[in-house]
Amino acid sequence: MTLEDVHERGSDRQIALNLVGISDIQYPLIVVDRDSQTQQTIAKFSLGVDLPKEDKGAHMSRFVEILSQFQGKVNLAEMPRMLDLIRTRLDCDRANIQVAFPYFLERSAPVSGATALMDYECSYSADMDNFGSTAVMSVRVPVASLCPCSKAISDYGAHNQRGYVTIEVKAVQPGPEIWLADLIEIAEKSASAPVYPILKRPDERYVTMQAYENPAFVEDIVREAAWSLTQDSRVLWCRVNVVNHESIHNHNVFGSVEWHRFGSEG
């Protein structure tokens, strides 16, 4: 018995679609860190392709088949090969992969040396078409900020809060790797103080005074992170977004900037 492939029927509307595919499929992911160590994590994948106006639909099951084909060896270095396979198997011009995952680093408290794992929200987005491929890596880093104005006008103390620095980068290709740990360090050094997973009393004292000695507006943090990225020859393009969760207001503050080594995207 022959079953009809409904996807091969023509589309009445004749409208091409930018992307169709599957999203929020969880799969193990291997992340290689700056020290050539590997880390197993769980990622959420989104896989998509463009759809010509004459096609009714895409073969969704093929996305899962391709992901399963890489079982046990799914890592960021394999994404270009996966994109190429998606384009071949689904007979399309454009393929897109988006991956979101937690990344862990063991962090040591600044005085006691107590260690614990710290998690960071990371993502990787890659796109391939007939003209080439692009990839964007992103990490969201929690930081502490202390208000310069509050410090300047107060007899003692200053308000401080937790903020989040999100850095997105495209790397110069071909060229050396940009590591997640590199971006995390840039984000933390741009703020008043890092955020730690564990602090003993001597550590808490140290971090409190460190933040007090390094006050920074949200604008300062954005500029400092952006400046560090522009000085890195590995970076082709970057976007920095910072959000501070204000401790004395019922609102947040933010700042952002985008930069390209050659003046504009593309």
pLDDT tens readout for residues 62-92: 999 999 998 877 888 889 999 999 999 999 9
What was the pLDDT predicted at 266? 47
Give the span between the Cα atoms of 266 and 254, in whole angstroms.
27
| Over residues 230-240, mean pLDDT | 97
C-alpha–C-alpha distance, residues 50 and 58, integer Å: 9
**What tokens appear for 124 in the block?**
């990787």
Give the pLDDT score at 264.
66
Answer yes or no: is pLDDT of 43 > 90.
yes
Judge whether residue 187 has pLDDT over 90. Answer: yes
pLDDT in the model for residue 39: 92
For domain 19-260, the CATH superfamily is: Urate Oxidase; (3.10.270.10)
Each as own residue / partner, the long-range contacts of residues 62-71 (CB below 8 Å, 24 or more positions apart, any chain) are: 62/86, 62/89, 62/90, 63/21, 63/22, 63/25, 63/90, 64/22, 64/25, 65/89, 67/25, 67/27, 71/28
Residue 206 has pLDDT above 90, yes or no: yes
Q: What is the pTM of this model?
A: 0.92
pLDDT, position 260: 96
Q: Which residue has the higher pLDDT, 26 or 263?
A: 26
Look at residue 7 and tell me whether its pLDDT is greater than 90. no
pLDDT greater than 90 at residue 134: yes
Whole-number average pLDDT of the chain: 94
Mean pLDDT of 196-205: 98
**String of DSSP letters for the chain:** -PPP-GGGSBPSS---EEEEEEEEEEEEEEEE-TTS-EEEEEEEEEEEEEE-TTBS---THHHHHHHHHTTT--BGGGHHHHHHHHHHHTT-S-EEEEEEEEEEEEEE-TTT--EEEEEEEEEEEEEEETTEEEEEEEEEEEEEEE-HHHHHH-SS---EEEEEEEEEEEE-SSSPPPPHHHHHHHHHHHSSEE--S---HHHHHHHHHHHHHS---HHHHHHHHHHHHHT-TTEEEEEEEEEEE-SSSSSEEEEEEEEETTSS--
71-75, 163-167, 220-224, range with the lowest pLDDT: 71-75
What pLDDT band is residue 243 in, cutting at 50, 70 and 90? very high
pLDDT given for residue 100 in this prediction: 97
4, 128, 148, 193 from 190: Cα distances, Å? 59, 33, 14, 8
Segment 153-182 shows an average pLDDT of: 94
191 pLDDT more than 50:
yes
Q: Domain locations in the chain?
A: 19-260
Confidence at residue 35, expressed as pLDDT on a 0 to 100 scale? 86
User: What confidence category does residue 265 fall into, taking pLDDT thresholds of 50, 70 and 90?
Assistant: low
Residue 253 · residue 246 · CB < 8 Å? yes
Cis-peptide, bond into residue 174, ω within 30° of zero: yes
CA-only gyration radius of the chain, Å: 22
